[in-house]
Structure formats: structure tokens, C-alpha cells
Amino acid sequence: MTGSDNPYAGSFGTQMTASASFGQPAPAAASDGDLIKETTTANFTKDVLDASRQQPVLVDFWAPWCGPCKQLTPVIEKVVTEAAGRVKLVKMNIDDHPSIAGQLGIQSIPAVIAFVGGRPVDGFMGAVPESQIKQFIEKIAGPAVDDSKAEIEAVLADAKALIDAGDAQNAAGLYGAVLQADPENVVAIAGMVDCMIALGQVAEAREALSGLPEDLAKDAGIAAIGKKLDQIEEARKLGDPNEFERRLAANPDDHEARVLLAKIRNVEGDRTAAADHLLTVMKRDRAFDDDGARRELLAFFEVWGPKDPATIAARRKLSSILFS
């Protein structure tokens, strides 16, 4: 699925008020000129020692007559550029500025010394291959972090908090932004469909799910949203909840009325009442509908999720019934 055929993109049109972008260069990202520079003996303290207190600095000691230096230069510059600011590269011509190399005991070039916190911490000599330079940078600066992935995860967490707080409109905006960047993000797909449900767009939600590729539709989170839709569509056909309340007032052991009322309360969002009705049926008659109340409660849990407070509370009560 691509951005162009993403069924969720723009689903809420101008109603979406939140947006985000991912995988774009940071506004303050350093240019190649900031990452790679030549230095002198006079500027070494500023360019290397002071700079290394902010981020690791690799110092490449070289000379114009050095053949291996010429082999190393394009490779190390490429790797440093691709590291996108995790390290800097400072080049020092030892013919023009021999004193620093002498103080560090460098006897062969090319030699690359890494400085961190104002002092040398590691290094290598020779025209090593690109893979080794990448490993060296990872050792010095730590593994690369996928900033776009971390940003998407943060936006998804914000969207979940919004929908949990009842703000499906702005949650949909965030889920839509994620889907523009990653059209097959199953968490965002499930979240967007959940927003549609919360906004009363049940038919649109069903259509969105039915258009998913089979591999995405099998995801547990998306399957749970599908079951939530099933429960809503079923509850709409059950009738007037007031009638079931009257039946229970006349006969508290009318288990059929109690189960049907539980299904309605569930889709209304009163999860505690829905669970309590089913638990009451289990306490009074486990054999009713071949233990149907327990099966219905487990179906609720699957949609609510294992961490939902209503699931946790009802599971505790269920255990006391099953194992007392």
C-alpha cells in the first residue's frame, strides 16, 4: 500500500487539525562544511578539543605525498557525512602542522584519532575499508538511532492518549499524519478506524477494514477493531435497552436480558457495567447458554485490550468466580 492509494489519507478532510512530518532532516542539521574541516596547530584546541566536548571528533592526520591517505579520504568523508552529525571530521596536514602528531606519538599515516570530552579515546591507522570506519564510529558515537521511527512512536502515543481522552478528532489527525509517512503502520490503521467508530462513521470504518490487504488484516490490533465493529453492529440490532432493564427488574434471573444488556452497555462505552452483567450471569448460572457469558466476556477483553482498567478489574472478578 502506497501513500497514493492510502484509504485513510484525508479521511477527515479539513476536520483534521493536527499534523506531523517524519524522516525529514532536522532544521538545525549540520552541513557537510560543518562536519568536515581542515585545522591548524593554532586552531586545534577550538576545532578538536573544545568541539569534542559537544560531540565526538575524528582527527585525520595526513600528508599530500601519502598514497593511502588519498584512498582513505573519500571513504571517511562519505561515512562521516552519512553519519549526519553523530561525529565530526577534522583533517590535519602533518607536513604543515607536525607538532600535534608528534605529541600524540603518530609515526605512520594515515592515522585517525577519536577525541571525546577533550581527550583522545581511540584510533586506527591505514586506509581501512568503509565497513570498519562505520564500526569505529558506532563504537565511538553509539549506534545510529532511527529518529523518524522514534518520532512516529511518540506521535502514536499522543494519538492514543487523545482518543482515550475522548478527542477522536485530533487523534485522527495524528494517525493520518503517521499513515502519510508509513501507510502500512498497523497501529495507525487500527487507531484511525477506531477514530472513525468514535465519530460515528461505522460504515466508513467497515469499508476501510474491508479494503486492507490480507497480511495487514491479520494483525491482532486490526482484528480487535474488526471485532469491535462486529459488536457495535450486533448491538444495534438488539433493541431497546430500557426493555431489558424492565425485564431484569421483573426477574433478576432473566439471563438472556442481562447478556443482551451487557452487549449494549459495552458498545455504549460502559465497560464496567457490561462486565458486571456477564459476571452476574456466571455467578448465578454457569451453564446458561453453554457458559456463553464467559465467552462473551472474553470477547470483550479481546477488544478492550489486556491493559485496559476494565479488563484488569473484570479478570480479577472472573478468576474469583472460576477458582473459588
Tell me whether residue 69 is one of the annotated catalytic residues.
yes
Q: Which residues on neighbouring strands pair with residue 38, listed in sequence order?
A: 91
DSSP letter string, 4-65: GG-TTTTTTGGG-------SPPPTTPPPHHHHEEE--TTTHIIIIIIGGGTS-EEEEEE-TT
Q: Is 175 exposed, middle or buried (0-12, 13-18, 19+ CB in 10 A)?
A: buried
The pTM of this model reads 0.53
Neighbour-count burial for 284-306, b at 16+ CB within 10 Å, e otherwise: eeeebeeebbbebbebbbebbee
pLDDT of residue 126: 92
Residue 79's closest CA among 139, 127, 134, 125?
134
pLDDT of residue 147: 62
Residue 306's closest CA among 224, 233, 198, 194?
224
For residues 36 and 88, give the distance between their C-alpha atoms in angstroms, rounded to a whole number. Answer: 6
pLDDT of residue 19: 42
For residues 101 and 11, give the distance between their C-alpha atoms in angstroms, rounded to a whole number. Answer: 62
3-state helix, strand, coil in the chain (%, to 5): 60, 10, 30
Residue 275's closest CA among 241, 245, 230, 308?
308
What percent of the chain is modeled with pLDDT above 90? 60
Residue 156's closest CA among 180, 191, 194?
191
pLDDT of residue 97: 94
Task: Please give the DSSP secondary-structure letter assigned to residue 212.
Answer: S
Residues of the chain with pLDDT under 50: 1-21, 23-31
pLDDT of residue 308: 87
Q: What angle do CA 157, 201, 174 make, to 5 degrees?
A: 25
Of 69, 112, 113, 114, which one is the catalytic site residue? 69
Of 16, 59, 66, 264, which one is the catalytic site residue? 66
By residue count, the chain amounts to 324
pLDDT of residue 296: 93
DSSP β-ladder status, 119-125 and 111-116: antiparallel
Amino acid letter, 276: D
Tell me whether residue 66 is one of the annotated catalytic residues.
yes
